[in-house]
Amino acid sequence: MPGLIGSQGVRPGALNMNRVFRALRYRTEQAQKVTYHRPAIYKTDNYGVPSGTIGSNEILVPDLPAIIRPTVTADYQQERAGNNIIGAARIYTPNITTIKNLPNFDQDNNTNFNEIEGWDRLITNYRSVCSIPTDVTGSWAAESGSISTDGESITNTLTGNGFFKYTATSKNALEADRLRFKIKTNFTLTLASFSVLNIGDATATPSVSAQTLTYTPSSLTIPSGTWLTVDVPYISGTTATSVYRDGTRYATTVGGTYDYEYNVNQITFNYTGFTGVTNTVQVKELEFYKSVSWHVHSLKDMTDGYIIFNCVRTRGRDDARRRAYD
């Protein structure tokens, strides 16, 4: 909609960003909910050199409405360290007042967030690599409970604490670098951990057994009645990440011997908090996806209705070579 949001130097007038976002979301993936990421900020010594002490923890918050208008989505570069992919985009977000009305951005809840600043990242879903079906019950099982679906989400009606899981024969998720899902309960549940199991390689010499990658949030409770979006890295070298709920950060450890080149076999959710009545846990929009991390380079415009950021893509993976180099 170039005439609406002014790419040709003509500043648009009043713009209902929420209405535009809803209209575009059903027609193009340029309108999507992105994940806002500000890496941890380290304190400095008397000479301005960053120390190893974190002064402000990372902010990793999904579900920020945005419209992405790439100038160059992918510019393939040959660099000294190998191939790289760069790009540039103009990203539109709601005004700062609207953003701060979102629970995770509300400064009453999240005192570390004031505004979107330079070199903060807006992580977009470039493409879904592996979607896990939640509209059918096949391949889902529960340790303590029964599985059903409403055609959109998978539901576990609990009979006790334990886990429920999805098991696949083999799903290729090599090109993915993030894992995302939404979870809701009708009681206060503690999400003890969630994990991904790969299939290993029985034909290798020596053979490689199945491996588990476990995400363990610190005391993450999920209140009744509201969907919580979890969006975490799924990439080698990750040892810690964050899950945010209502502006509160829950530090999440990522551990286990795990080779991302092997196909995914299983995803498991471990929980506690069963109260003895009819408790349910629902999961939907479970997927591994390939992301693009757009870094805020400059603020182009700010009005009562929207903010426009000029963003750059500084790094991208060459998946063909990643697979070839093993």
Q: What pLDDT, in 10s, does the model give residues 175-185? A: 999 999 999 99
Phi/psi for 98 (5° steps) reads: -65, -40
pLDDT at 2 over 70: no
pTM above 0.85, yes or no: yes
How confident is residue 4, by pLDDT bands cut at 50, 70 and 90? very low
How confident is residue 325, by pLDDT bands cut at 50, 70 and 90? low
Mean pLDDT across the chain: 89
Q: What is the mean pLDDT of residues 170-191?
A: 94
pLDDT computed for residue 292 by the predictor: 93
Q: CA-to-CA distance for 58 and 249, rounded, in angstroms?
A: 9
Q: Return the higher-pLDDT residue of 73 and 191.
A: 191
Q: CA-to-CA distance for 110 and 282, rounded, in angstroms?
A: 26
Which domains does the chain carry? 17-127+291-325 (no CATH), 128-290 (2.60.120.430)
Beta bridge partners of 85: 76
pLDDT at 83 over 90: no
Least confident of 232-236, 311-315, 322-326: 322-326
How confident is residue 323, by pLDDT bands cut at 50, 70 and 90? low
Q: Return the higher-pLDDT residue of 154 and 11.
A: 154
How confident is residue 199, by pLDDT bands cut at 50, 70 and 90? very high
pLDDT computed for residue 26 by the predictor: 67
**Long-range contacts, 93-96 (Cβ 8 Å, 24+):** 93/17, 93/64, 93/65, 93/66, 93/306, 93/307, 93/309, 94/17, 94/18, 94/21, 94/65, 94/305, 94/306, 94/307, 95/17, 95/302, 95/303, 95/304, 95/305, 95/306, 95/307, 96/302, 96/307
Looking up tokens 């790419």 gives: 7
Q: Return the higher-pLDDT residue of 13 and 146.
A: 146
